[in-house]
A and B are shown apart, each in its own frame.
Chain A
Amino acid sequence: MSENITKEELQQDENLIYCKSKVLTDNEFHYCPGCGHGTVHRIIAEVVEEMGIQGQTIGVAPVGCSVLAYNYFDFDCQGAAHGRAPAVATAIKRLLPDRYVFTYQGDGDLAAIGTAETIHACNRGENIAIIFINNGIYGMTGGQMAPTTLEGMKTATSPYGRSIADTGSPLRITEMIAILPGTHYVTRQAVHSPAAVRKTKKAIRKAFENQDLKQGLSFIEIVSNCNSGWKMNPRQANDWMVEHMFPYYPLGDIKVDGQLVK
């Protein structure tokens, strides 16, 4: 190849190895740099694009940092009230059984205020996907304690560290819903490295494909960082996540094809 190749010569389709998914809009992400939300959005958009289901996909956004997720996905979306996305998605899927329906929820949304909706949608075996971003904190409201906050972790409402005696243990809701017969696929993933991103993408694709099988709900927890809430830079946040979050929230499949993984 010539050394003085022009930009135009370089920007040929055959040279293209990576680009923004067509299923993402041109709106600029409002997320803090290094936050996992943006990465997961990108993966979801890629899966929808690759499966060719942009016109059949309906997403349900939560209340939390990803409340504006619908501005980034270029498919039809609804924004649910705080914690109620699984109820909203339940009705969408029941009324439009051939659409691909998913919720996107944070840990406060899914495992605190929306616990009942989460458990019952899972228990009914709704043929939807739930994508659950566990960053151990309430990002949107300024870093308060979440049900998933680790013991000893300092947050705005646990300034001396989370006390189990006062607030109970960090909630492993994913393990809880895995024992329900209504869930078909339950996995815990992360997006802190290229390898993890690839695995998460596979999991999300499976969760969408599972909707054709009508065998029950697919639940993907993604352990993620909230570098702003954790008061770390993105690099430190990812390292801290690997060191502290992963031991308590171990990555990997928990239930596959309706069978618990042992």
Chain B
Amino acid sequence: MAELLRTHPLEGWSTRVERLPDTVRITVEPYVAMVDVRLGAVPAEASAALGVDLPTTPNTWVPAGTGRAVWFGPDEWLLTSTTEAPEELEARVRAAVVPLGGSATDVSAQRIGLRLTGARVRDVLAKGCSIDLHPRVFGRGSSAQTTLGQAGVVLLALSDAGDDHGVLVRSSLAGYLADWLLDAALEFTTTPAS
């Protein structure tokens, strides 16, 4: 039998997303392995076993191999990897944290990642995000779990200029958020579609 085909929730949006101007670029970043990690304390062994210092400052993220480690709570992180299969990442992280009293759960399909780049991205996000995204406050390395429009999201600041953001959204709400973003970006398109 042929290999199982993968599909992601925003395949139907690709042409509309491609039509956006450079000031508001939306790139869909599907099929990223993600694990939700729970760990009461972060001992040195954890860093060694995971290959990353889990950030302990609330609302921050750090690079972790090919992915990121995102603070989710005082004992919770999201670890992502663009090179491992979901089950591989879960197995590796579980092996590292279970002996330390932690746990790890594959949540790769729970959320889908979008990357928003361009000079107008902050203006688009400000239409539905109540937290202050000014680069003075929300520079590279910042993260936030909050609400964008009516969808819960994880926001990641990927640049210091406020022009590069990662957005993780529940897969079931990805279509809503894509519609929301396209609608929010409409005023920045030079030749608006009807």
Q: Is chain B a partner of chain A in the same complex?
A: no
Residues of A within 8 A of B (CB): none
Residues of B within 8 A of A (CB): none
